[in-house]
Structure 1
Amino acid sequence: MTRNNELRLPPWSGTDGKPCFLSTDDVNGHLSCLADNTEAIQLSLAAELLDHTSEVLEDTQAAPEELRALAHDLAESLRSTLRVAESRGHRLPLPGPDTHGNDTGGPMLPAAAFG
């Protein structure tokens, strides 16, 4: 669910492959539902591709052309999956002002601490 007045990154690209954004407060609207369904399809296809990848990699007779096509398909699937993850990450609720994002009460490291 998108937060009020926040743009949603849908699981498709705009002109020239550039990101496009969906602005709506209606999470049950036509475009929001289309984006949700498209995300579900993309994730399902990624799971199927992963299964196929295991089969191809187990085949010691796989032709180089088949491996290149598989690598291309995996890259496209990963690109779509990352877009879904980014979109869903933006839609996660923000921690309240009285919390630091963890339940332990301990300190949190800044993102820069992880490289």
Structure 2
Amino acid sequence: MTTPDNELRLLPWTGPGGKPCYLSTEDRRSYMSRLADNIEAVQLGTAAELLEQASEILTDQDTDPTEARRLAEELTRALRDVHRVAVSRGHLLAASTTQEG
């Protein structure tokens, strides 16, 4: 059985051309759901590590501009990933609230 269209899970990766990928399942313990959960956890962990690096690099007066640019690029990717996780989890919360109510 699949979920209604308004309850599709936004996955933490994109498809061809950067298009969003969605999962339709009621089983939050399915292989794809667990895979998405694991990837989201890695993405959130990476973002936390980058925040620590950013704090160090930005307080160092002698930071090389190339290093600062690399950090900005990595932070941009991490922010994009974290935003996708937040949107996905927000939709999951809304769907579970609707089902409970």
- Unmatched segments (≥5 aa) in structure 2: none
Cα distance in 1 for residues equivalent to 2:75 and 2:27: 33
**Runs of 4+ with deviation above 6 angstroms:** none
Q: State the superposition RMSD in angstroms.
A: 1.2
Q: Secondary structure at the match of 1:21?
A: strand
- Unmatched segments (≥5 aa) in structure 1: 97-115
TM-score (normalised: structure 1): 0.77
Superposition deviation, residue 78 in structure 1: 0.2
The structure with more helix, counted as a fraction of residues: 2
Superposition deviation, residue 15 in structure 1: 0.8
The structure with more strand, counted as a fraction of residues: 2
Percent identity over the alignment is 54
The number of residues matched between the two structures is 93
Which structure: larger Rg? 1
TM-score (normalised: structure 2): 0.87
Give the AA of the match of 1:36. D
Which residue of the partner structure matches residue 41 of structure 2? 40
Superposition deviation, residue 59 in structure 1: 1.0
